[in-house]
Structure formats: C-alpha cells, structure tokens
Amino acid sequence: MANVLLKYSRGGFIEKTICDKLLTLAESLIDDFVDISENNHEALKEAIRLNHSVYDMLFITIARSRNAVLLTLDKRLKDLAERESIPSR
C-alpha cells in the first residue's frame, strides 16, 4: 500500500500531505498480518517457475495457502493468479 501511495503522490494524483492518513486507513482494513518468512521459500520457487517477482509471488502464495481471494488492481498479477487457479478481483 505504501508503494501505491508513493506512486500516486509522485504522479500528482493525491496530495503528499494525506499519504500517511491513507496508509493508516488501509492498515485498519487488514484482518491478519502474515510474516513473509513463512512464505519466502515458496515465493522464490514460484517466482523462478513463473518468471515473476518474488514480491508478487508472496501475494500469490499467501492467498493460495489461505484459500483467499487476491485483491489487486495489477492486471498482470491478476491474470497470473487466475492462471494459477487463485481467485482474484
């Protein structure tokens, strides 16, 4: 979320002064924080297999392990999730 806010701020889509408040709001929507160390090895394996970033594969592997829906505006990640039978929106 912080990276998205940074990009929106750099692009002039949101005021820099509200980024911190928006990050706090986004964090309040999270039900469960997952320590990425639980998924690092699997994410690396999947990144190599699928030729995609480890960062994004963390989202994929965590969603898959928890039978969760992956929420993303990243079309490439959404398409990859769907190819891997992970529901996404």
pTM assigned to the model: 0.74
Per-position pLDDT tens, the chain of length 89: 899 999 999 999 999 999 999 999 999 988 888 888 989 999 999 999 999 999 999 999 999 999 999 999 899 999 999 999 999 99
Per-domain residue ranges for the chain?
A: 1-30, 32-89
The 3-class secondary structure across the chain, one letter per residue, is CHHHHHHHHHCCCCCHHHHHHHHHHHHHCCCCCCCHHHCHHHHHHHHHHHCCCHHHHHHHHHHHHCCCCECCCCHHHHHHHHHCCCCEC
